[in-house]
């Protein structure tokens, strides 16, 4: 069985409202953010999700070809809005990491091995084609702020969807 991939465009988030899991459903949804190197964009999305969802969601990130280190510039960018990469490191997608995942968000061009997603309990997979300011000559912290804000808009909508 193949899991469909949904491509989404960013939407305007609702105003910031504290979101908590209900006591009627003790299951905390689990989301996995995936990019190629797991050093920048997927880590940014995970950090922003933890910021907005608190303990109401379980958040993981991984890469299809993980790098050796996190992007210090990406970490600094999310810190500007109160999120953090603290305790994180680039990691590969494994079957264990996929256990219990409800939603996988693939950021950019990363490709997940379809064999890892086979089965009746396969998670929903969606792809976010994020803005890439470097294609317009925008670099450094300005580039990362644009990416962060794009991811933040998408993350807020995802958090509301998963916790409603």
Sketch out the chain's domains with CATH numbers: 27-163 (3.40.50.2300)
Averaged pLDDT in 10-residue chunks for the chain of 164 residues: 43 37 57 98 98 97 97 98 98 92 96 86 93 96 98 98 92
The burial class, CB within 10 Å (0-12 / 13-18 / 19+), for 145 is middle
What does the block give as tokens for 33?
């953010």
Give the whole-angstrom CA distance, residue 104 versus residue 77: 23
Cβ-Cβ contacts under 8 Å for 154 (sequence gap 6 or more): 8, 10, 11, 45, 128, 130
How far, in Å, CA of 127 to CA of 44, rounded?
Answer: 15
pLDDT value, residue 6: 41
Residue 45 has a pLDDT of 98
Query: So what's the pLDDT on residue 118?
Result: 82
In 3D space, the residue among 132, 136, 134, 141 whose CA is nearest the CA of residue 71 turns out to be 141
Q: What is the pLDDT of residue 7?
A: 41
What pLDDT does 133 receive? 97
Q: Would you state the pLDDT for residue 11?
A: 42
Q: Which DSSP state fits 136?
A: G
pLDDT of 115 reads 86
b (16+ CB within 10 A) / e for 116-127? ebeeeebbebbb
Maximal CA-CA distance, the chain? 49
State the pLDDT at residue 128. 98
What is the pLDDT at residue 16? 34
pTM of the model: 0.83
Q: Which two tokens stand for residue 1?
A: 């069985």
């Amino acid at each position: 069985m193949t899991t469909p991939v949904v491509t989404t465009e960013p939407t305007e988030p609702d105003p910031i409202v504290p979101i908590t899991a209900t006591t009627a459903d003790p299951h905390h949804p689990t989301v996995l953010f995936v990019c190629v190197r797991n050093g920048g964009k997927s880590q940014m999305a995970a950090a922003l999700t933890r910021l907005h969802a608190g303990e109401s969601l379980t958040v993981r990130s991984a890469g299809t070809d993980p790098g050796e280190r996190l992007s210090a510039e990406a970490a600094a960018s999310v810190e500007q809005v109160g999120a953090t990469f603290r305790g994180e490191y680039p990691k590969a997608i494994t079957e264990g990491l996929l256990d219990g995942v409800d939603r996988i968000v693939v950021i950019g061009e990363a490709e997940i091995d379809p064999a890892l997603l086979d089965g009746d309990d396969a998670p929903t997979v969606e792809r976010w084609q994020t803005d890439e300011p470097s294609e317009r000559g925008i670099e450094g912290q300005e580039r990362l702020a644009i990416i962060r804000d794009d991811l933040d808009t998408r993350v807020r909508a995802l958090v509301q969807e998963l916790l409603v």
